[in-house]
Structure 1
Amino acid sequence: MTKDLKFFLFVAFWCSVTAFSQDLSVKYSFIKNGLSIKDYNLDIQKDHSLFYDSEYCLDNINIKSQLIILKDNSSEIKVLDKAGDVSVSTRKQIQLNWRMINETKIIENYTCQKAEVIYGNKKWIVWFTNDLPFQDGPFVFKGLPGLILVAESEQYKFELLEINKSLNKQCSIKQEGRKELSYDKYQSLFDNITNKNNNLLNSISNLGLKLETDFRSMSEKETKNNAIRELL
């Protein structure tokens, strides 16, 4: 190999590493039983990533869903959320024992490899690409040698919508001032909120207060917000 060729290969390698050292923003569609529920963003930065409802970044004070998953190089995730007017946070250990499968396909012009994992008593199949060497993906998924473009179980699916090489500068996610809960208490909190909302809807229906349509619409929005909490 000539010195010129060695130098060219070194420069090409260095440029590829430099190109992928920048931040990345990825948008996914969250699908349940074949129906699109919400869009979620994955913002990948130098030492951590944030996965959150795409509407969170919009200038809309009526946005209630604030579930955000913060991932770093540790074996746990940090969950930031909001229960009514109270901002809360919790942590959860995540164990992902990936099994690589010798199968590939093209997704949005990226060559992807198949892998699978058991998480939350569900078998998940994912497709990741080495063309984007970010060891991250939607929801809690991470740790493969490339960006996960699609992740799906029997009932749920995260599907790639778009990839941007710059982050949404509108997003300002505050971690300070949140009430820290154990993961068990976090689960109980939102289980109780869901049960109260369901009971209130049933009461309104039984009393014939003509508020059922409005409250049902609010309840459906909250159900969409809870859909991803079911998976945690």
Structure 2
Amino acid sequence: MAGGPSSLLPPLETYIDEEAIWIGVDRGVLYLLENGIIPVRGFGDFDSITEAEREYLHNYVPHLSVFPAEKDTTDTELALQWAVNQNPDRIYIFGATGGRLDHLFANVQLLSSDLYVGADITLIDTLNEVSVHVPGSYEAELLENFPYISFVPISAEVENLTLEGFKYPLKNCHISMGSTLCISNELVASKGTFSFTNGILMMVRSRD
């Protein structure tokens, strides 16, 4: 849980289960506590909260890692590094969209970096789910709360993109960075597939 605008957070109870391990980033630690979730760790410089709030965090969070404001990585990346090292099945990132655009773009770029690309990591807010994929074949299930699916190349080219089970199918199509060909597609069945042979592809599932 990062510290983006709380108004963009989805209902967290949807993602709470016995196997979930929660960690907070900066103000995101407060968001978790406000939702009755005690994170196992907290990361950040905590420059966006008051001294009283810091004391509150120290009383409730078992492990709070405080870093200087001037550093070479963002608070979110510090938390993501720790999370990836736990070898989880998947990672959901909340509170990482909205507000400052530099934070948004940095968080999306994290998913495509050499350290994290290919891992099962999804950015989630009330209107979107964002994931980044390496070459291969993937299944996409119909989600009523996120009916629109867009595919955006975030490498120079994505080669042989094939979409099956979609309203606008494709067969072995090459798309370049900057292309809007695959924006706002929809599934026409309970599930579909997408595959490609080269490049890095971002999938954005959205609702209005």
Is the shorter-chain TM-score for this pair beyond 0.5, marking a shared fold? Answer: no
Higher strand proportion (structure 1 or 2)? 1
Higher helix proportion (structure 1 or 2)? 1
TM-score, scaled relative to structure 1: 0.22
TM-score, scaled relative to structure 2: 0.24
